[in-house]
Amino acid sequence: MNKAQKQLNKESGRISSMFNGIAPHYDKLNHILSLNVDKYWRGVMVKFLKQEYNGGGTPRVLDLACGTGDSSIALCKKGMNVTGADIAQKMLDIAIAKNDKINSKYSPLPDYILASAEDLPFEDSKFDATTISFGIRNFNNRPLCLKEIYRVIKPGGVLAILEFAKPKNAVIRFIYNLYFNNILPFIGRVVSKDKEAYKYLSDSVEAFPKYNAFCSEIKEAGFKDVKYKKLTFGICVLYTGKKQE
């Protein structure tokens, strides 16, 4: 293992420890801090995939950085065969426990695997689609991960990524900064007792590339028809693309 790989492993270890630490509070905080709007954002992503595969059997979907499984479950409930993958076992444990509460009419239930986006344990072209909700800004090496994702999607298959962004409108941006830089880290710290995790959330959104810059990264990995759609004043964005036929 070279020096760069060791550094990457160290970084991944830090990220997985942070998510393992906040796992017990993650769902509650997610819904409080997003004022439940996260459900709407996930719904938009699922609807997009549903339209792509309308009438096309049971698409196999990799829900990468699946965390506690909310997007995996939403996809499963729309008739998709979902594999969730994440580097934080405690987040996955919560996702796995949720399978007991899903109505048995939804079949197959999502299955979950501990794996990193940097090195996916799947053969080439295994999935019809890959989704990532609020996960990609945590990846250490986005170009490497996007190439791995491209590899495991079938030719013509779809990528759909939900991620936070800083809104452009000055008024919305003012409210957003107030909320993300002050209120959100405060509530996050009180509920999760983790001083850094929710400060990290606003820092990582700040560091994430702007809309067009991120579309260019997706294209560089090989995807075509790359587009983005702003949701809720541009606080959240749905990025989509397709693997070449």
CB of 213 to ligand SAM, least distance (A): 20
CB of 125 to ligand SAM, least distance (A): 20
Two structure tokens written together for 207: 């560091």
One residue of 133, 192, 202, 240 binding ligand SAM per CB under 6 A? 133
138 binds ligand SAM (CB under 6 A): yes
Q: Interacting stretch for ligand SAM, rule CB under 6 A, among 132-140, 152-160, 207-215, 223-231?
A: 132-140
Q: Binding segment for ligand SAM among 62-70, 167-175, 209-217, 237-245 (CB under 6 A)?
A: 62-70
Residue by residue, DSSP assigns the chain as --HHHHHHHHHHHHHHHHHHHHHHHHHHHHHHHTTTHHHHHHHHHHHHHHHHTTTS---EEEEET-TTSHHHHHHHTTT-EEEEEES-HHHHHHHHHHGGGS-TTS-SPPEEEE--TTS--S-TT-EEEEEEES-GGG-S-HHHHHHHHHHHEEEEEEEEEEEE---SSHHHHHHHHHIIIIIHHHHHHHHH--TTHHHHHHHHHHHSPPHHHHHHHHHHTT-EEEEEEEEGGGTEEEEEEE---
Residue from the set 109, 118, 152, 239 that interacts with ligand SAM by CB under 6 A: 118
**Min CB(10)–ligand SAM separation in Å:** 13
With respect to ligand SAM, which residue has the nearer C-beta, 7 or 244? 7
Stretch 64-103 residues interacting with ligand SAM (CB under 6 A) = 64-67, 70-71, 85-88, 91
CB of 55 to ligand SAM, least distance (A): 27
Q: Is the peptide bond before 108 cis (omega within 30 degrees of 0)?
A: yes
Stretch that binds ligand SAM, among 58-66, 99-107, 182-190, 225-233 (CB under 6 A): 58-66
Figure out which of the listed residues 53, 127, 134, 223 binds ligand SAM, where binding follows CB under 6 A: 134
Q: Can you tell me the distance from the alpha carbon of 68 to that of 148, in angstroms, rounded to the nearest whole number?
A: 22
22 binds ligand SAM (CB under 6 A): no
Residue 8 or 172: the one with the smaller Cβ distance to ligand SAM is 8
- Residue with token string 């495991």: 152
Q: What is the binding site for ligand SAM (CB under 6 A)?
A: 12, 15-16, 19, 30, 64-67, 70-71, 85-88, 91, 116-118, 133-135, 138-139
